[in-house]
Structure 1
């Protein structure tokens, strides 16, 4: 199984305030993330973390926390990720800045582009490839980005062709993510449903 999530911002006090996260403290947030993660991910699953796990890659407590998260973790680096500590690097099966993979829902196969940052024009965007990204959290910036994609679609822009452009923000604070790694199927089904929260 493959799962996706981004922008955990572990050990980042200001993330609770800026994202209006429903936690009163860092330990409370960490407990929820750890439980949500390990209740569904097995050590055989892949979890693609699209950046910004934390701002402190050399933090002993961070290394200990990430080591408790189940699964084969792939880090697609974000602007806050410090991976200079060799011990921290060993917690991931891969660390990269950009990645292309395939995932399946039933018998349907999907090409995915994985990046921390929203991309205005990504590879084969008009040929069905899906972009998963983070960075913009739940913000006006993200809404503006999605509006741009809609306008590109409506304006019959080059590289759009006849496909609907599909780019999904997998920031953990979004209602359909709810601080839990999600499958591609869950993300595609729920991302467009506004404030509907996925059931665990």
Structure 2
């Protein structure tokens, strides 16, 4: 059964946050249309038994009932939050885990540093550790070891580690700390 479960990463969904439509995500008629597209894209990617690491800014809505309904509509047996700057109201949701700041995990023999914010340097970078982040809505390009996993970068959906690794492999930009210490 373990083989049937996959792990995905995402960030910056901003469910219920109408302000996101005015700058970063124009083209949606309403926040309801935006949210429905994100839910559809999430559920087309994530299966019911999968794990999703959400690297912050799940929502910026004051409507707790709306957030609860939205959360429950999203596929995934385990949803883990790495808290972002807009997650004050999202902590009451039934996350499997919640983490402040940096969260370190290993998946498929890869050491990952998860944080809402991009970092110029991170633990174990010199040993091949990868850094996944959100917050920048695709404005800060990734490197051979770091990548924005936010929905703005990945067609409004969560992304697998294989897809992230493929994007990193296509980059010719080394992490700044590694370049400067050569």
TM surpasses 0.5: yes
The equivalent of 2:151 in structure 1 is: 172
Q: Give CA-to-partner distance per residue, 1:115-136, whole Å, 9 cap, x none.
A: 0011121001111000000111
Q: Which runs of 5+ in 2 are unaligned?
A: 1-5, 172-182
How far does residue 187 in structure 1 lie from its aligned partner after superposition? Answer: 1.8
The equivalent of 1:99 in structure 2 is: 103
Structure 1 residues 23, 48: CA separation in 2 closer, same or farther (over 3 Å shift)? same
Instruction: State whether residues 146 and 168 of structure 2, in contact with CA within 8 Å, keep that contact through their aligned partners in structure 1.
Output: no
The equivalent of 1:155 in structure 2 is: none
The equivalent of 2:160 in structure 1 is: 183
Matched, 1:61 2:52: no
Q: What is the CA–CA distance in structure 1 between the aligned matches of 2:98 and 2:62, rounded to whole Å?
A: 13
How far does residue 56 in structure 1 lie from its aligned partner after superposition? Answer: 3.0
Matched, 1:70 2:70: no
The equivalent of 2:15 in structure 1 is: 10
Q: Which runs of 5+ in 1 are unaligned?
A: 150-164, 195-200
TM-score (normalizing by structure 2): 0.81
The equivalent of 1:23 in structure 2 is: 28
Instruction: State whether residues 9 and 55 of structure 1, in contact with CA within 8 Å, keep that contact through their aligned partners in structure 2.
Output: yes
- Aligned to 2:34, what secondary structure does the other structure show? helix
Q: What is the CA–CA distance in structure 2 between the aligned matches of 1:34 and 1:74, rounded to whole Å?
A: 17
Structure 1 residues 112, 57: CA separation in 2 closer, same or farther (over 3 Å shift)? farther
Q: What is the CA–CA distance in structure 1 between the aligned matches of 2:90 and 2:12, rounded to whole Å?
A: 19
How many aligned positions are there?
164
How far does residue 16 in structure 1 lie from its aligned partner after superposition? Answer: 1.8
Q: Give CA-to-partner distance per residue, 1:88-147, whole Å, 9 cap, x none.
A: 2xx21001112111122xxxx2110000011121001111000000111122xx25xx5x
How far does residue 189 in structure 1 lie from its aligned partner after superposition? Answer: 1.5
Instruction: State whether residues 41 and 156 of structure 2, in contact with CA within 8 Å, keep that contact through their aligned partners in structure 1.
Output: yes
